[in-house]
């Protein structure tokens, strides 16, 4: 198999790298440059016609895209340690928190990125800057929601570190990269971010 990866600050490939590090797995990797537009070149479009990274090409030539789907594939092959929850309730809770990260936080962060950042101006035509900026308060409100939710918790979906924490960490770090930082009145989220960032896998 071959994992198509891209360097930080791209959050989605990083999700998979952190997940693999938590599992102790090493996968053959091809590094692509988003800045150079490698993901839009014919060679990669033949792998993933959507032109998005990450992608995982299997030994039989089939391709899995979407970061969570790739992680689920590796989870099925390597169930320990469980990263998608333990038991029916645990699995549902992790899935619930992943959905909340993606829908409540990643969506507005993505809109700020697409419609206000200079880097995306060459590919997002036209940029709707007012719309992009209107999503900044939504992203901050979502951060406050996660701050409140983390009160009394070590990890977002319970006592165990999970794919929900990976999704939240990569999203928060990407938000910080585009200028949506954590404020001092988010003590629970800041403490969680310190814990998550201190894990060796966070450097993957």
Output the domain CATH number for residue 177. Answer: 1.20.1050.10
Nearest residue to 72 via CA among 81, 63, 83: 83
Nearest residue to 16 via CA among 58, 53, 57: 53
Average pLDDT of the segment spanning 46-67: 97
pLDDT at 156 over 90: yes
**Per the domain annotation, does 57 fall within a domain?**
yes
Q: Are 73 and 102 within one domain? A: no
Q: Are 170 and 101 within one domain? A: yes
Please state, for a pLDDT cut of 90, what percent of the chain lies above it. 96
**Per the domain annotation, does 82 fall within a domain?**
no
Query: Locate tokens 């891209």: which residue?
Result: 6
Domain count, the chain: 2
Length of the chain: 204
Q: Are 65 and 161 within one domain? A: no
Q: Are 187 and 138 within one domain? A: yes
Q: Are 44 and 105 within one domain? A: no
**Per the domain annotation, does 32 fall within a domain?**
yes
**Per the domain annotation, does 138 fall within a domain?**
yes
Q: Residue 63 is encoded by which pair of tokens?
A: 């391709």
**Per the domain annotation, does 140 fall within a domain?**
yes
Output the domain CATH number for residue 17. Answer: 3.40.30.10
Going by their DSSP bridges, the two strands 55-57 and 29-32 should be labelled as: unpaired
Average pLDDT of the segment spanning 184-188: 97
Q: Are 110 and 192 within one domain? A: yes
Q: Are 144 and 198 within one domain? A: yes
Q: How many other C-beta atoms can be found within 10 angstroms of the C-beta atom of residue 69?
A: 12
* pLDDT for 143: 98
Going by pLDDT thresholds of 50, 70 and 90, the confidence category of residue 142 is very high
Q: Are 93 and 17 within one domain? A: no
Q: Are 100 and 193 within one domain? A: yes
Q: Are 92 and 191 within one domain? A: yes
Residue-averaged pLDDT of the chain? 97
Q: Are 14 and 69 within one domain? A: yes
pLDDT at 25 over 90: yes
**Per the domain annotation, does 104 fall within a domain?**
yes
Three-state secondary structure along the chain? Answer: CEEEEECCCCHHHHHHHHHHHHHCCCCCEEEECCCCCHHHCHHHHCCCCCCCCCEEECCCCCEEECHHHHHHHHHHHCCCCCCCCCHHHHHHHHHHHHHHHHHHHHHHHHHHHHHHCHHHHHCCCCCCHHHHHHCHHHHHHHHHHHHHHCCCCCECCECCCCHHHHHHHHHHHHHHHCCCCCCCCCHHHHHHHHHHHHCHHHHC
For 148, the domain range is 87-203
Q: Are 186 and 102 within one domain? A: yes
Of 50, 77, 104, which residue is a domain's last? 77
């Amino acid at each position: 198999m071959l994992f198509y990866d891209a360097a930080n600050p791209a959050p989605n490939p990083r999700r998979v790298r952190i997940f693999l590090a938590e599992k102790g797995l090493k996968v053959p990797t091809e590094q692509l440059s988003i800045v150079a537009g490698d993901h839009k070149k014919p060679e990669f479009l033949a792998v993933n016609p959507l032109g998005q990274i990450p992608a995982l090409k299997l030994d039989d030539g089939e391709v899995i895209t979407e970061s969570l789907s790739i992680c689920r594939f590796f989870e099925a092959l390597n169930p320990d340690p469980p990263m998608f929850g333990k038991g029916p309730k645990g699995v549902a809770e992790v899935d619930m928190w992943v959905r909340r990260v993606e829908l409540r936080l990643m969506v507005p962060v993505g809109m700020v990125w697409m419609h206000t950042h200079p880097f995306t101006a060459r590919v997002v035509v036209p940029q709707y800057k007012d719309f992009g900026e209107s999503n900044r308060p939504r992203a901050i409100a979502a951060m406050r929601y996660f701050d409140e939710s983390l009160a009394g918790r070590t990890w977002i979906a319970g006592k165990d570190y999970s794919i929900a924490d990976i999704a939240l960490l990569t999203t928060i770090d990407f938000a910080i990269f585009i200028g949506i930082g954590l404020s001092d009145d988010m003590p629970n989220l800041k403490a969680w971010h310190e814990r998550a960032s201190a894990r060796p896998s966070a450097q993957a």
